[in-house]
Structure 1
């Protein structure tokens, strides 16, 4: 994934994941909310990094950098507050809605009142309406660039799946798309009046507000019907609801944001508008060079490049350096349960359990910067995600260093020997070192590895997510990574994509084709739970059942080191974007 994460886990940065509590020094100049300090208005925030957004259109944008950009110029019905406390930062609060919704007794109907004063920066400025939110949800299903997160909405909103299916048959032209949207309703979505939106679900979903907080669910003004979704014309005619507006966009080169004069602080409880201008300069592919610019003060924050591992030791204690806790499976070792290799040995749960004992997880953590920057994992759900359970650690070893003797014993008991596993790995970042470390651990257990150097862009599509290649045995084990799309009540974004095998198909992120009907049934109950606490119990149950089957070896959850220039103040980190929230920063 280079230096940006495609949300949902298809690609991952070198050091990533979100967090909350600052572990580095905060310093007097980095005043967080509640800590005092006088905000300063004005100035240019200089952001520098490598790659462009995947999509500028919020209906389809699906990278962390796009998420952080969306925070500046889009709004949603509900969102997350700005806070360096992880637990606070993942709690849903009202945004363009004046309050959290009224929810019916059966948990299936959500009614929102739109906040007065949330204005599009049209000429003249215009109040956002319930119809704009209806239009925004419809655009997720467009046939040109459908949302990568569409399953969150088709799986919850009444009639959304039928709407999506019908929309895919529409010609990919501006008139045809506009006509279909005008004539075709989503059964469960309606604007009762300009200020009242009603959404009906197919069944209870305790995480539905988290789904609505994703930038996908941004409203869309009627003007967007003039352009193909995320097309070149769209990218030059964005309309803002947030504190900033996109003044210019040059693909792969630069993005400039200026203050949005239509934005009113009184109508936005989560964002600020301190700097006059946000200048984003792209094309800098070296993390070391970006770090040098931040330390020299010629740039303020990184767009997508991590703090170089080589710089971390000397930055400890620097007031501009912080470490934020994470919640990820990054990386984890996955088994191809479909592989015909070795007489289908990996289909044998005893073999998978044995290999779980073999891996030295601390060694993996050291490759990524040590245990300060990485949390060693024992379960299928990382801390910070619903279903995490400290009691789920069936394959724990002393010091997480692995137990080759126990692995060899279990392999002998399983009656399996002379295994040679096909092991593709990405050639970028620290992935070769991770593969070599795992292969060395397997050797100690008497298991051979055929390491296959793989271009990063081929790792998923040509190996792990390819049904044909998986069934042919082109790979036996791999070390992908996974980051959830949100935190807290996020089993739909962690357990479902990785372990619900009921919908395994081409491109699936259930890479090993793990499919336990009993686990799937527990997942279904968790998704339809009437409360978050009920859902949490179900996700914990699923976590334990999954680890008993050992379809993966959980390795580490990466924390995130961050650095900013010495003139940045109020450096509040967003768990959802892995970046400092641009709308909170001021310059000193």
Structure 2
């Protein structure tokens, strides 16, 4: 999900602490809960820390503070990263010995059928996987499988029967140690997709429950070094050692700590105070505030680190499906007017200044192959032009534009929303702000399509990080800016541009990264010509931890220190 570098030193790593010491409880602080515990369904970056602790992936990444090392794909349950067949359509996975489930009746080997079952669950009719579109469109026969699954009642028994009675043509399991994937077209990034939790193997027990239901969570079957000991919704998770996990089968997780506790409902400043006092250790969905960052930088605190993540931290969707304001947002000129109205430079300052944040004008952030600085609306500096905005609104025949604007009620989000409100009002646009709890914002508000169609919101801030590392432009473009008739969770208004799709296909088939990058930049410009979003700011991911945390090194998909590899100075 990222590309970039950690700064500010190793963050209190093993160089200072000596040999790793086993034991202790890692205390993690969170504002909100996980979006999903079910690996197939999660799409929230912080949850990758949880998944890493509880669940093994097909492929994954080493923990490292070196940029190149942490984005190098490697095997997890797979013995090695597979190479494509000569025609680019077939990949064979060999499962390593010793990987097991912590099954109710004792340790049980993870087998090829578990890998197939994980992929098959992606398009279940109860809660489809947010990132499932990558697989559905690419694995041979999966779209047909999913069409059939969509007709099944969203009940555990009916879904179990469908999974057990149907197969995906492009997934073969000739023996318990071998999985063969066949694709409909070459895809140079397919192995990167296999690092996603979406592709994690699933034990047979999951078929007894609705995906990610309370019953599923209460009976979660772990394959990682930790398992769920207890859970109180929105209050606390407790993970303890999984005795079925074998260290010699896992090249990626050392599992030094005995227990992980994640306490929820903590605000940012309070969390930082606890980390600095040593009463807690790491952060989940929280980051140091701009004020915190200034203090930490001034003190040259080596426990503070930043990294590029390749994403756009703040961009604003237009709801082009609503009839609010006499369907004004369906007019391109109105959306262009708002592009000019927003003072991106002011948002940069709210987010901590130019050391942390930078203005963006497209769908790709720094570090993505395809990112280039450009702007279709004004200059690249992000300075607002309210007079140009007023001119475009007048040309569109729109007066008294009033926008409903939800925001996550956490961290700097209220300040960012108010800053954008001020710049829009300078262009004569009325903004009605309303808060949404952070845990509900994506899972229940933005992804509820009725909220768009019924006009519950007109503009909304979101952020997006690439779903894997390296050549990850597809993971920004496809889930947000393509529509083939099947709704995607994070394409809130079913945006689609056929020309952009054609360019993306060419980029995925490009012979070199350089050629692909040029094509992805054309995709970026083509999307922005339609103005479905306002790209505002890219922000480096800021991390902090307590003094007792040692070997704090980045796990790429979580954009945070790896819970399964840190150890605690006693």
> TM-score with structure 1 length normalisation?
0.84
Q: Note if 1:49 corresponds to 2:33.
A: no
Cα offset, 1:373, TM superposition: 1.9
Over 3 Å counting, the alpha-carbon distance change for 1:220 and 1:425 in structure 2 is closer
Of 311-320 and 394-403, more deviation after overlay is shown by 394-403
Asked if the contact 1:171/1:177 (under 8 Å) is kept, the reply is yes
Q: Distance in 2 between matches of 1:348 and 1:209?
A: 40
What corresponds to 1:14 in structure 2? Answer: none
What corresponds to 1:12 in structure 2? Answer: none
Q: Distance in 2 between matches of 1:398 and 1:525?
A: 27
Cα offset, 1:460, TM superposition: 7.2
What corresponds to 1:586 in structure 2? Answer: 567
Match of 1:70 among 30, 34, 51: 51
Pairs within 5 Å for 1:338-377: 349=332, 352-353=335-336, 355-377=338-360
Asked if the contact 2:483/2:494 (under 8 Å) is kept, the reply is yes
What corresponds to 1:200 in structure 2? Answer: 182
Q: Distance in 2 between matches of 1:387 and 1:190?
A: 34
Of 208-217 and 136-145, more deviation after overlay is shown by 136-145
Could you list the runs of 5+ residues in structure 1 that have no partner in the other structure?
1-16
CA shift digits 1:153-203 (9 cap, x unpaired): 211111222222323444555554443333211111111112111011122
Of 313-322 and 428-437, more deviation after overlay is shown by 428-437
Q: Distance in 1 between matches of 2:417 and 2:404?
A: 8
The alignment partner of 1:480 has SS state of strand
Match of 2:143 among 135, 154, 161: 161
The alignment partner of 2:180 has SS state of strand
CA shift digits 1:452-482 (9 cap, x unpaired): 4354588779997677776777765443333
Q: Note if 1:550 corresponds to 2:531.
A: yes
The alignment partner of 1:484 has SS state of coil
The alignment partner of 2:464 has SS state of coil
Cα offset, 1:213, TM superposition: 1.0
Q: Note if 1:91 corresponds to 2:72.
A: yes
Asked if the contact 2:32/2:285 (under 8 Å) is kept, the reply is yes
What corresponds to 1:24 in structure 2? Answer: 8
Cα offset, 1:410, TM superposition: 6.6
Q: Distance in 2 between matches of 1:131 and 1:251?
A: 32
Pairs within 5 Å for 1:306-345: 306-316=287-297, 317-337=300-320
Asked if the contact 1:120/1:128 (under 8 Å) is kept, the reply is yes
What corresponds to 1:82 in structure 2? Answer: 63
Q: Distance in 1 between matches of 2:431 and 2:290?
A: 28
Over 3 Å counting, the alpha-carbon distance change for 1:394 and 1:229 in structure 2 is closer
Output the aligned Cα RMSD.
Answer: 3.5
The alignment partner of 2:254 has SS state of coil
Over 3 Å counting, the alpha-carbon distance change for 1:353 and 1:86 in structure 2 is farther
Asked if the contact 1:463/1:474 (under 8 Å) is kept, the reply is no
Match of 1:128 among 110, 131, 144: 110
Q: Distance in 1 between matches of 2:47 and 2:350?
A: 28
Cα offset, 1:363, TM superposition: 0.4
Q: Distance in 1 between matches of 2:495 and 2:240?
A: 48
Asked if the contact 1:228/1:234 (under 8 Å) is kept, the reply is yes
Q: Note if 1:278 corresponds to 2:259.
A: yes
Over 3 Å counting, the alpha-carbon distance change for 1:64 and 1:337 in structure 2 is closer
Over 3 Å counting, the alpha-carbon distance change for 1:427 and 1:43 in structure 2 is closer
Q: Distance in 1 between matches of 2:493 and 2:163?
A: 38
> TM-score with structure 2 length normalisation?
0.86
How many residues align? The count is 564
Q: Note if 1:301 corresponds to 2:282.
A: yes
Q: Distance in 1 between matches of 2:420 and 2:148?
A: 47
Of 56-65 and 467-476, more deviation after overlay is shown by 467-476
Cα offset, 1:24, TM superposition: 2.6
The alignment partner of 1:331 has SS state of strand
Cα offset, 1:42, TM superposition: 2.2
Cα offset, 1:584, TM superposition: 1.3
Of 352-361 and 288-297, more deviation after overlay is shown by 352-361
